[in-house]
Every structure is written in structure tokens, then in C-alpha cells.
Amino acid sequence: MDAAATGPYPLHRRKTLHLVRHAQGIHNVAREKNNDPLKSYDFFDAQVTPLGWQQVSNLRRHVQACGLSKKIDLVITSPLLRAMQTAVGVFSGEGCTDGIGAPPLMVDNAGNSDHPAIPSLNCPPFIAIELCRERLGVNPCDKRQSISEYRPLFPAIDFSLIENEDDVLWMPDVREKDEEIADRGMKFLSWLWTREEKEIAIVTHSAFLLHTLEAFGNDCHLLITNEPCKQFANCELRSVVIVDKGCLKDPTIQGKFLMDLIFQVMLPRTSTKEGLWRTLTIQCTEWSN
């Protein structure tokens, strides 16, 4: 992927994103029967199932075996329990060193998971971001706990970029619309572009991934649009390269050359008030259990 997607572009104008949907949650099992259980508070901030932890282990083995774990500069996670459990399980360090008292990424049995503690040694930094959480409203499975409840469970995750202690974004009677999710996704990628890290893992949710990627592919050929916008399976990984094509002297020619593999996306420039846009390109590879 690197040679095809990033060769023409300078390093400071591109980022590699490793997109992961969370592992199977208890609400996913219930939804296989019907949607009504999702409105029950029995699924509040749904945790990962035993099968979901197996999916996490499988994906962890993959990222270790292919060398991806050594390349990642930053892990970004949605601040919902199932996403954080997936993130720390997949992208944690390779092991523990005796005598070093680093706080764990996750404590023992976090979220009634019956899972042992996960160490934070030899791993990239982890941060939680509200912008990449699941569709907001109505379903309690998509409502988060307070930050003061999360911090003892995930001591090594940085929650400092979350402004509100309690979940003020989730409304019991208003469900976020598709276009609102897409707009939130655009804001997330605009913020992401301000980060200095170049290789970033993002652990998030199906609706967020679907509508964010769909928003990027509107101007492309149907075959190119459909490929990255397929529904993500639980614990599926897709890696993409985004490139700021404003760095190209002739972006029209380059775009035509790459369109068989890469579809264009648009991001608003955050540094101006005029609403100018920069064109990005994105190429996909994927892996799932």
C-alpha cells in the first residue's frame, strides 16, 4: 500500500489511518434478534462479549505478526466501553517489565469483562475523543459513563480532550441523523489533520465509519465509493492513506492516475473562515477475523 499510495506525496502531507470497528458487544448479540432490546438500559454502555474478546485476540495477533503494532504513533478511541476495551486489547504493548510501575491500560475485570489487566508498557499513547463515538441518542447502549467512572478502569487512557464529565451529547428522545454523523466525521478528520502523528489507529463504531466514509466518496465512481463504504464487521481493520493533494503541482493529473485505487475526499480547512476546502485521497486495504 505504501508504494502505491504515498510514493508521490511528501510525508508531512499524508497520514495512515488504521480504522477498527469495536469487537462484538452484548447489544450486537441482542440486535441479531430484533432492535427493541437496544432501548433497554440492560445494554447501557454495552461491553464486549466473550466472543468479542476472542476477536480482539485474533486482531492483536494480526497487528503483531504484520509489524503494524510497531508503526503506530497514536491510538484514538471512542469513549464508549466496548471501543476502549477493543482498543487496549488490540494495540497494547508486547509485555510487562518487572519492577516498572506504569499504570495499566485497563484494570482487571473492567466493565465486568472477566478479563485480566492489560499493561501499558511498550505501547503508543491512547486518547479518547467524543467526535468518533457511535450514533447519539435514544439507545442506552450508545450512552457513555462519566469520565470519573472511566479513569479508574482505564488509567493509561488520556481523557483530557473530553470537555464534559457527564454525557451531555446523548439525548433519550433524539436520534442523531445520518448527515449529522457525517458532519461529525468531517470535523473529526479536520481535527485529526492538525495532529503531528502520521500513523494512527482509530477504534470506533459502525455508523460513524459508514457515514463518514460515505461522505468522502460522493464524487467518485460507484465501484470506488462502494469498496471503502462497506459495513464494517466487528473488530474489522481497514487501513487507509489520506493525502493533502494541495501539495501537488498538478493534482488533476495525479488524481486521474490514482482513481482506480484511490477515491477523493474533501476536508474543510480549519485555519480559515472562508470555508475553503482541501482535496484528500484515500486508499484502502482491509483485514477481519
C-alpha span between 285 and 213 (Å, rounded) = 14
Which alpha helices (DSSP H) does 7-44 contain, by range?
26-31
- 230 Cβ partners below 8 Å, 6+ apart? none
258 contacts 18 by C-beta, under 8 angstroms: no
Which sign does the torsion angle of CA 271, 207, 70, 79 carry?
positive
Q: Is 134 a catalytic residue?
A: yes
Question: How crowded is residue 7: how many other Cβ atoms within 10 Å of its Cβ?
Answer: 7
Catalytic residue at 22? yes
Q: How many CB atoms lie under 10 A from the CB of residue 132?
A: 27
- Cα–Cα nearest to 25, from 150, 176, 171, 134: 134
Q: Which three cell numbers stand for residue 166?
A: 457527564
User: Three-state SS for 215?
Assistant: helix
Catalytic residue among 18, 22, 115, 205: 22
The H or E element spanning position 126 is strand 126-128
| Alpha-carbon distances of 127 from 58, 75, 78, rounded to whole Å | 23, 6, 9
CA atoms of 61 and 56, how far apart (whole Å): 9
DSSP structural state of residue 104:
P
Among 18, 115, 134, 236, the active-site one is 134
Residues known to be catalytic: 22, 134
